[in-house]
Chain A
Amino acid sequence: MMVENEVINLLELRENEEGEIVFIDAGRMAAQRLSDMGLVPGTRVRLIRRGPLRGPVELEVRNSHLVIGYGLASKIYVKIA
């Protein structure tokens, strides 16, 4: 069972599950790239689908769809909303 408000990695979200970004564990550059695309702490995201193996994930963020590579996505931590 998932404990409420437990912080998990974005990649641990199930398809169609929503989460709220808690923190981003990345260097300045990667954090800047993510925040420029609207991913900052407090942002709600929904995982739409993931690619096969270590493929990218598709997220719904701020009413639009983003594709984020596996490595970059693994730096985002969320709590289940």
Chain B
Amino acid sequence: MKKEIVVALAGNANVGKSVIFNQLTGMTQIIGNWPGKTVERAEGTLRYKGRIIKIIDLPGIYSLSAYSQEEIVSREFIAFEKPDVVINVVDASNLERNLFLTLQLLELHVPMVMALNQIDYAVKKGIDIDVKKLEKLLGIPVVETIATKGKGLQELIDKVLEMVDSYKGEDVFAYDIESEKVLKYRPEIKEYVMKIYKILMRYNVPLVKSFHPLWISLKVMEEDEDVIEKLKSTSSGEQAYKEIEKVLGDLKAKFKSPIGTLVTADRYDIASYIASETVSEIHHRITWTDLIDNVVLHKIWGYVSMAIIVFLSFYGIFKFGEYFSGILEDFFDQFKPLVYNLHISEMYKDFIWNGLAEGAISAVTIVLPYIFPFYVFLSILENTGYLARIAFLMDEVMHKVGLHGKALIPVLMGFGCNVPAVLGTKILETDREIFIASFMSTLVPCSARIVIILGTIGVFMGPQYALAVFALDVLVVYVAAYFANKIAPGKPYDLIMELPGYRMPALKPTLKQIWLRIKDFLYVALPIIVAGSLVLEILKYSGIFKYVSYVMGPIVVKWLGLPSIVGIVLIFGILRKELTLIMLLTLAGTTQVSQILTPKQMIVFGIVTMLYFPCIATIAALKKTIGWKKTWWVVFANIIIAILVGGIVNQILNFI
């Protein structure tokens, strides 16, 4: 009995893989109702019946062709890491499309179990699936699941274990495509696949150790560049490929269209056949999704409703934050006299209150009340599927900057935190799109920067001024992307995306997701803020600030019109954006921004903090996504944009 088992979750985007992963491993992979948020694979462990089951959540994909990074990651994982079982998660309400990937997974000849997920949703849509027949037609076990409620998951894992224990391996030398019960391509394809198959075996190409020869044969036939390159990288493979090319020449002569298209068409024919045999649509209902979309995707009402939703979210966050921030501030201020009545020197009092307490208090009173409602709104937009609608509405606008509507989804996530936004740009197809979208994301104010703007400009000048700063940011992001598009080499791509149906966000996973994001603030940001405040307080006594202010003075004081200490807090802000405001307050020994900055300075300060430098976490994410060279380019561009926009606004404000 095998004790340690590796299981991979594979399936289309947005079918509930991450939910199954979270349920099985108890981990918290961020979920959302939009295609493509699992960009990096997530790993977790489940202990069950004395076994250790390692579970890998692969990114959502529609095919195993090599046209996106995610598809290559998925197929290479299956080939090289050799999971014991692949769980193919499919959306029961959308079986035909999902089966297209199932068939390609079957071509890989890995032990497989199907999780027919979101059965409840399919029932609501009036769809009935004959599971027994589906099992028979596919030749693999099929388990019905409702992942959000945990239903069917135990049976699913039982089937996985059964599969591991009964799997005997396969003799690739004795293989014959005619014995395939599911993969019934047209006769010419079958004939030529076997020809290629035999050549691969005759030359004993090393690639056969990773991928099943059937799959390699099909991919070579489809002119998959990645596979052909891998094949040709060894001398036996190169010889084999020369012979295969000759054989393929005969096949190509027989058909007008590229062979890849024929293989794809055959797969779809098989998928349609299986779907038609197993799915019965009892009644076609006009769904809620259709009715809502008639409004929110309407040529006029769509944009009106988008504006209303964005405005209400903004206003709701602001009002909630303002109210609770006030209550918390009054509460914590009572403790200040306690410290200052202690019989210790003034310097230590400052260390304790300004250094340790004030940083933490500011974080709790200013940041938390705004972050919480922000994440509630973000989760709602994400989990209901509305973000994908924004992609539809904004597709054309994004075209002007060389991107398409889908790129807006990660960029909008940047309002929460730039890190997932930058990592999320991997859902885009080309390096150029990923670069432009990552660059845009860094200029989008994350929750920390939103809080700074709401907590200063919003509170002391009024929410309409905060809104004006955000509107200016939208313009800056757009213009910056416009120039990035001009200089980035390559051609833009068009949008192609599945539009998910609306879902009512399940309460528990949504709350868990909000908690996860807030936990990140409490556990990661709060210690940094407290440590940073303390360091700052000590540095204040050391007198080093004179020199820093001297160096940064010309830009900060002369050009931006800000107090010279802002230069120092901006440096600390690179660690964590919340620090800029919190440290400004700490340095001034107050919780009232209005005592340090004039309204005009608040606006310039807000703009500069919003644009000036990606925080270190974002820089790390950028490095991972676009490499060091482009990362430094983005950082440099941010600095220039911040100085330029901040300075111009300052000069204009001085003028009026």
Contacts and interface: CB of A to CB of B under 8 A. Distances in A.
Interface in A15-70: 28-38, 40-43, 49, 51-56, 58, 61-70
A65 B498 contact: yes
Contact of A56 (B67, B97, B268, B392): B392
Contacts of B351: none
Nearest to A29: B67
Q: Which has the most chain B C-beta neighbours within 10 Å: A34, A58, A64, A68?
A: A64
B261 A69 contact: no
Interface stretch (B16-24, B109-117, B178-186, B489-497): B489-497
Given A35-B261, A37-B62, A56-B405, A68 B496 contact: yes
A29 to B, nearest CB: 7
Nearest to B269: A42
A35 B63 CA distance: 9
B396 A70 contact: yes
B62 A67 contact: no
Contacts of A67: 388, 391-392, 395, 405, 495-499
A35 B258 CA distance: 12
Q: Which has the most chain A C-beta neighbours within 10 Å: B293, B388, B494, B499?
A: B494
29 contacts: A29-B67, A32-B260, A33-B429, A36-B67, A36-B264, A37-B498, A38-B96, A40-B264, A41-B261, A41-B265, A43-B268, A49-B293, A51-B392, A51-B395, A52-B299, A53-B396, A55-B392, A56-B395, A58-B499, A62-B96, A62-B97, A63-B96, A64-B94, A66-B498, A67-B496, A67-B499, A69-B395, A69-B399, A69-B496
Given A29-B67, A51-B299, A52-B299, A40 B268 contact: yes
B304 to A, nearest CB: 13
Interface of B: 62-63, 65, 67, 94, 96-97, 100, 223, 257-258, 260-261, 264-265, 268, 272, 293, 297, 299, 388, 391-393, 395-396, 399, 404-405, 429, 494-499, 501
Interface of A: 28-38, 40-43, 49, 51-56, 58, 61-73
A64 B339 CA distance: 64
Contacts of A31: 258, 261
B402 to A, nearest CB: 12
A22 to B, nearest CB: 12
A51 B396 contact: yes
A42 B262 CA distance: 12
Contacts of B404: 69
B130 to A, nearest CB: 16
Given A40-B261, A52-B396, A56-B392, A33 B496 contact: yes
